[in-house]
Amino acid sequence: MTPQPEWWAGLTADPAVRALGVAWRNPEDWEALEGSGPSDGTMTNTAFRELHTAACEGKYLVGMGPGLTRRFMGIDTEACWYLDPAKPDVLWCALDQSYAGWLWVPVEPTADGIDEVLSSSHPTPALQRTELTSFARGFLGFYGQVELPNVYSGEFVDFNGHDLDRYMTMVHYTEVDSWGSSHLDDPMADDVEPASPLVMSAFKRQNQTSAQLLGRIPSMTWRTLHSRSYVSFEVHQRDIVCAAVHYRPSPASHRNVVAQLRQETGIDYPVDLPLDVIGTLGGFGFSREQDLIGNLDDPETPDHLMGGMRVLAALWSGDLRDTLRLRRFAADTDPEVRLALARIANWYGYRFLFEDLALTETDPGLLEQFEYLQVTLGSDGGDRYNAFGDYFSGSPIMVDYNGDPVEVEHPEAWDDDEEEDEA
């Protein structure tokens, strides 16, 4: 029999711990873990697999609970508690049995320690955007560089809405189904009962949950399972793929896990980012300003500078204080850089950047292009490009502020498919 820590009997008999919903196993029923890969449904890489294997080493499953139910699906999940007899002064908590080992939280084996690690997730809070007081955005890559696994073949395909929707269904860190930019908040009830795919599709059509609102950045948003955060995949300027997260800061014990993960992977996750958000994004790159600012301050080439301007404009969108930092390029000596700034101003509706450009521009040809871009600013309500290639939802792809369907411009690849069908 595996030896019990000195605190085991007292902790497992503590009424305060029982009230939290943890069901402890008898020591003879402790289950040794294997170093196999996690079953979280996400993309992974060698570094993450090695971290998971290391986390499993020497550990036993000694308890489970409390649980929660994944909405629409009616699937129950439970927190898991692990113990390493070689390190008896700590428990490890996985908020769900599918959590990868690099997201397990070391916990002080006391009622207060267990309560703290569960404080943001059990029970699950029904949060709205105004209650998600923190925000982070990361650059995932350019549209032609970001890839997703096809859930049927396993082969990687270019980023698109259809495959993203199918892939996210397999990710255990999020609730099922997403909504488009036509909704600022989750349109689905937090306590929705299990439903058939037919009922879910009818709900989406009736409420236009997948539609993009003309004038907003195209996005597909999922609610995470435990922290109830919003994770959005955005397409900026038709070409820049970002992840945007609205969240509440995580508990202190969770932040220690993220700080360690940052050291081990070099990925600049905000330390207070919830664990289920990081699990959702773990298969993607996630670059923030600190990773990219060199493109502006010390660019290798003008193209490097212009690419950095575009990406950082995407990361800074919605924050006027950061966006104002782009003004310095209005007087850049390279006309292509000034034109790139005008295109950014047109995309995001930054009239103040056009004013800066007009004050200093001496090239009549460029000034005419700036004027055209400014005149067309918001003239038709926004870009009508079908950024996610969305044609599968059965509801309008894009709507205006009245909720009426808007005719969209489809991606080139989709146009090519239509031509082949006609042939």
Q: Count how many domains the chain has.
A: 3
What pLDDT was estimated at residue 167?
94
Which SS3 state, helix, strand or coil, does residue 323 take? helix
Q: Are residues 153 and 89 in the same domain?
A: no
User: Is residue 258 domain-shared with residue 247, that is, in the same domain?
Assistant: yes
CB 27 within 8 Å of CB 51:
no
* Same-domain status, 225 and 251: yes
- pLDDT of 176 reads 86
Q: Are residues 53 and 179 in the same domain?
A: no
Count CB neighbours of 418 within 10 A.
10
If asked whether residues 135 and 146 sit together in one domain, one would say yes
pLDDT by residue for the chain (423 residues), tens digit each? 677 899 999 999 999 999 999 999 999 999 998 766 567 778 888 888 889 999 999 999 999 999 998 887 777 899 999 999 999 999 999 999 999 999 999 999 999 999 999 999 988 888 999 999 999 999 999 998 999 999 888 899 999 999 999 999 999 999 988 999 999 999 988 777 766 666 677 777 777 889 999 999 999 999 999 999 999 999 999 999 999 999 999 999 999 999 999 999 999 999 999 999 999 999 899 999 999 999 899 999 999 999 999 999 999 999 999 999 999 999 999 999 999 999 999 999 999 999 999 988 999 999 999 988 888 876 677 889 999 988 766 778 999 988 899 999 887 644 434 443 443
Q: What domain range includes position 23?
A: 8-118
Listed residues 248, 264, 289: the one ending a domain: 289
In a domain, 380, yes or no: no
Give the β-pairing of 398-399 and 212-213. parallel
User: Is the CB of residue 220 less than 8 Å from the CB of residue 120?
Assistant: no
Residue 408 domain flag: no
Whether residue 292 contacts residue 322, with contact meaning beta carbons closer than 8 Å, is answered with: no
Rounded to 10 degrees, the C-alpha dihedral 122/124/125/131 comes to 100
Q: Which of 360, 375, 390 is the last residue of a domain?
A: 375
Determine contact, residues 344/353, Cβ cutoff 8 Å: yes
Cα-based distances in Å from 79 to 30, 222, 271: 15, 21, 22
Torsion, Cα of 229, 319, 378, 345 (10° steps): -130
Final residue of a structural domain among 289, 321, 346:
289
Indicate whether 402 belongs to any domain.
no
Q: Supply 419's token pair.
A: 């031509």
* Pair 298, 192 in one domain: no
Amino acid present at 279: G
Angle at 385 between CA 184 and CA 281, to 5 degrees: 50
Helix (H, G, I), strand (E, B) or coil at 315: helix
Q: Do 157 and 176 share a domain, yes or no?
A: yes
For residue 10, give Cα distances in angstroms to 15, 80, 258.
10, 19, 30
Q: For residue 297, what are the contacts with CB-CB under 8 A and spacing of at least 6?
A: none
Instruction: Read off the pTM.
Output: 0.92
- Here the tokens at position 90 are 């700590």
Residue 397 within a domain: no
The DSSP letter of residue 129 is: G
DSSP 300: S
- Flag whether 387 is in a domain: no
3-state secondary structure of 395: coil
Residue 184 structure tokens = 């600022």
